[in-house]
Structure 1
Amino acid sequence: MINIKDKSLFGYDSRVILLGVARMADAFGNSFLIVVLPLYIASKGVEGDAMGLSKTFITGIILGLFGLITSIAQPFTGRLSDKVGKRKLFVVIGLALFTVANYSYSIADSYILLLIIRTAQGIAAAFTITASLALITELSNKGNRGKNTGIYNSFRLVGFGVGPLLSGILTEGGPYHLPLIGEIDGFTASFGVASLAALVSALLVGFFVSDPDNTKPSTKKMKINLLTERKGYFLDPIFALALATLIMSFGFSLLAPIETAINEKLSQGAFMFSIQFSALIAMLAVTQPIIGNASDKYGRRIFIIIGLIGLIPIILLEGFVTESWQLIVARALQGISAAMVFAPSLALAGDLAEEGQRGSQLAVVTMAFGLGISLGSFVSGYAIKFGYAVPFVMAAILSAIGVFIVKTQVPKKEAEID
């Protein structure tokens, strides 16, 4: 391994940048499949028994299984990395699993195999997410943790945003004629690129990232608290931050399940919808490092509260827009407000996490992010039948609840937590 712990890249520890690239790879591979898998199944690339379910339903199960498995597995993989005390090893294991799983789709010809591969992907993500975030925390201090968390998350969002675009191009552009390999179709090309991205990231982390010298195996029992014994408080502060993160991510996924209704209401096509969907991700990626850096200087809690307050009118207005450009602007503003919640929440959770417990305790926040996205999709798709604005009103109300939770359950000063 080449030790680059004293190297700086764009003002960041090079290991932080490389971990961001690694996280970008698994987000890239997962978002690739959001576009490719439904097309692959619809193209009759998958035959056999769908267990009595419609193709649409089984496709939804396959796509949704990733988030469910990842969320369930994260506290356990986080705890395992605490006990072993080797964060880098777990990041590499996760990326290696991604490499195999992403390519395996190209040879999967049954729904059972797709479900198995998707489960493996979810486990791979759990290894990568918890270990990389714990490592970011341990490579940082309170003076730069927000900055490092922000740039790390930005890389992840870039991967998530670029994946669907590139997968669509690769899928439609096939077949391809490659030297020594021969002809491959667009699906195989897409799966191959997703696999290659994970492999390159695994090699980068394996050769150029090192665990901090003070990261040791933990002999402590797993400690994840929902409630607290602190006088005047009810919730554990890390759990309160997880709830704020869940509420923030709930609003991310409101649009996707109701795309048809949005396009009909605004008299627009799929391209305009893709711009609206991506506006949030783009602004979140751009602003997170800036806000994370600011939270290092001015405090984390204030940004989280301001961000949640901002989400209330912004998401509410999304339910009442009448023009396509209005939704684009609202989604962009939502991305800025979300950035105020996300990067400072992860950084503050890192500040509060106990040594030897960081993997499992930080997993509570990352798990909440994934659950929020899944819950937002489900609620939006169901609640739309009660009225177009209903999902947005619900998300706005949840944001108000988030303000109350953070303001009353997350202390202003860390000394109040001890």
Structure 2
Amino acid sequence: MSTIPDRLGIKREVLALAIARMADSVGNSFLIVVLPLYISSGVITGGAGGLGVSLITGVILAAFGFFNSALQPFAGRISDRLGKRKVFVLFGLVVLAVANFTYSLASSYWMLLAIRAAQGIGVAFTIVATIALVNELADDTSRGGNMGTFNTFRLLGFGAGPIAAGTVVHAGPYSVFGVSVTGFDAAFYIASVSAAVSIVLVTLLVEDSDVEPADGSEDTSIAVLDHEGDGVLDPVFTLGVASLFMAIGIALLSAIEPQVNERLGQTAQLFGVEFAAFVLVQVLVQAPIGSASDRIGRKPFILAGLAILVPATLAQGLVTQPWEMIVARATQGLAGAAVFAPALALAGDLARKGASGTQLSVLTMSFGLGTAIGPLSSGFLVRFGYPAPFVFGAALAVVGLVLVYSQVEETVGPGVGESTADGQPTAQD
């Protein structure tokens, strides 16, 4: 009798890891909607260093991405050296659970900044080890499907969070055993509990993959230039740059929530729906696209996704109705799905044995950095007019499209996988 993992065509361990990440992602995504509202609500006091509310919101949101991205290569390399993944996943989740709770105690902009940075540190250790585990548990013929399914579950939690967050904040305060709890504090507590649930699931259901620790003499550095192929830039590095540009375009919306709501004449609940539309479309198409990339190839999907990303991002700067924003975000979600799983799978195809943590951290680091630069740039550029941030994001997507087209070679398809069947070395060997 076939099990659910068998029917999905993925490893059981990957499904367990995906469910754990889904629980954690619910809480993580709460904060994307809650923090801008919390900062602009007047609850936080003290100086902002002369920065406007939109810009200080962007700085606080960006701290997560900057610390997350800066530490990911380090976390990946240490994980490769030790040949351990699970301990890094658990350490990061513990840091995240504590940081999420601490938001309820914050009273100044600088405390929020410090907590957001701590969140970034926790996720840096978690995400690199998680992606390396998924990569090592899969093989060349199922990597795209496993990456896609894992990301589907993660995004399912990430998409549900924003919808619930607006409702939780709006419906507060609450009375819990006679104690009054604000809508904001309730959101922070939910985020903390979701990380704790993820800790339990990983502890009980996930085991380390069978991977030898990388020898100290092995090269686990990140290459920038292509020293083996015909291109100028290393293909994994190029995919990282494209992921960076994609993430910037996706994250532009979060720091300017008040301006978006004013322009579209909407409430926080509708903003949560718009933000989640991107994620929920990915939930529907991520796994099928990942599986298709195992058969058809990685590069066609990545190029198509970047091409769709251009008008989808630009449209968000031109819409005047909430339904138009929902459509634009949903289209952007389709673009992101076409890029994300195939790009991770392609990088996994090329990753050297024992170095997948370091190699895949290029993409996860880039995506995290993009989620930091996106809010920061939109908080700054919105002063030049509401459409300005989205014009910037669309232009970056064009550059990413050109780079992938010219610098990245396919790893799946006729003549590419045949060497593996014959027992000859592949890109991973």
The bucket for the TM-score relative to the shorter chain is 0.7 to 0.9
- Report the equivalent of 2:181: 185
- Report if the CA contact (8 A) 2:349-2:411 is conserved: no
- Report if the CA contact (8 A) 1:304-1:345 is conserved: yes
- Report the equivalent of 2:288: 290
Question: CA 1:105 to 1:262, structure 2 compared with 1: closer, same or farther past 3 Å?
Answer: closer
User: How do residues 265-280 of structure 1 correspond to structure 2 at under 5 angstroms?
Assistant: 266=264, 270-280=268-278
Query: Identity, % of aligned pairs?
Result: 46
Moved more, 111-120 or 208-217: 111-120
Question: CA 1:210 to 1:270, structure 2 compared with 1: closer, same or farther past 3 Å?
Answer: closer
Structure 1, residues 115-159: CA drift from partner, whole Å, max 9, x if none?
443322111100110000000000101111111111222222222
Structure 1, residues 282-339: CA drift from partner, whole Å, max 9, x if none?
1122211110111111111111111112223333444444554333323222211221
- Report the equivalent of 1:142: 140
Aligned match for 1:213, one of 206, 210, 213? 210
- Report the equivalent of 2:172: 173
CA distance in 2, matches of 1:344, 1:221: 25
- Report if the CA contact (8 A) 1:315-1:395 is conserved: yes
Q: What TM-score comes out, normalization by structure 1 length?
A: 0.87
Aligned match for 1:204, one of 175, 185, 201? 201
CA distance in 1, matches of 2:106, 2:333: 36
Structure 1 counterpart of 2:364, which letter?
T
CA distance in 2, matches of 1:197, 1:377: 24
- Report the equivalent of 2:66: 68
User: How do residues 331-346 of structure 1 correspond to structure 2 at under 5 angstroms?
Assistant: 331-346=329-344
Moved more, 252-261 or 70-79: 252-261
CA distance in 1, matches of 2:261, 2:48: 33
CA distance in 2, matches of 1:184, 1:17: 38
- Report the equivalent of 2:130: 132
Moved more, 264-273 or 69-78: 264-273
Moved more, 350-359 or 406-415: 406-415
Structure 2 counterpart of 1:150, which letter?
G
CA distance in 1, matches of 2:160, 2:296: 32
User: How do residues 44-63 of structure 1 correspond to structure 2 at under 5 angstroms?
Assistant: 49-50=46-47, 52=49, 56=53, 58-63=56-61
- Report if the CA contact (8 A) 1:84-1:218 is conserved: no
CA distance in 2, matches of 1:356, 1:265: 50
Question: CA 1:173 to 1:386, structure 2 compared with 1: closer, same or farther past 3 Å?
Answer: closer
Q: Report the 3-state secondary structure (helix = DSSP H, G, I; strand = E; otherwise coil) of the residue aligned with 2:125.
A: helix
Runs of 5+ consecutive residues of structure 2 not aligned to the other structure: 417-425
Determine whether 1:18 maps to 2:16: yes
> Over aligned residue pairs, what C-alpha RMSD do you find?
3.0
- Report if the CA contact (8 A) 1:26-1:98 is conserved: no
CA distance in 2, matches of 1:207, 1:230: 42
Structure 2 counterpart of 1:245, which letter?
S
Q: Report the 3-state secondary structure (helix = DSSP H, G, I; strand = E; otherwise coil) of the residue aligned with 1:176.
A: strand
- Report if the CA contact (8 A) 2:148-2:291 is conserved: yes
CA distance in 2, matches of 1:271, 1:59: 19
Aligned length: 410
CA distance in 2, matches of 1:134, 1:91: 11
Q: Post-superposition shift, 1:355?
A: 1.4
Q: Post-superposition shift, 1:340?
A: 0.6
CA distance in 2, matches of 1:59, 1:379: 11
- Report the equivalent of 2:423: none
- Report if the CA contact (8 A) 2:166-2:269 is conserved: no
Question: CA 1:116 to 1:265, structure 2 compared with 1: closer, same or farther past 3 Å?
Answer: closer
Q: Report the 3-state secondary structure (helix = DSSP H, G, I; strand = E; otherwise coil) of the residue aligned with 1:12.
A: coil
Runs of 5+ consecutive residues of structure 1 not aligned to the other structure: none
- Report if the CA contact (8 A) 1:64-1:374 is conserved: yes
CA distance in 2, matches of 1:324, 1:59: 23
Structure 2 counterpart of 1:175, which letter?
Y
Question: CA 1:378 to 1:196, structure 2 compared with 1: closer, same or farther past 3 Å?
Answer: closer
- Report if the CA contact (8 A) 2:80-2:355 is conserved: yes
Structure 2 counterpart of 1:183, which letter?
V
Q: Post-superposition shift, 1:226?
A: 0.8
CA distance in 1, matches of 2:40, 2:318: 34
- Report if the CA contact (8 A) 2:33-2:254 is conserved: no
Q: Post-superposition shift, 1:96?
A: 1.6
CA distance in 2, matches of 1:286, 1:128: 25
Structure 1, residues 35-63: CA drift from partner, whole Å, max 9, x if none?
4445556667656x547556836554333
CA distance in 2, matches of 1:406, 1:141: 24
CA distance in 1, matches of 2:243, 2:150: 16
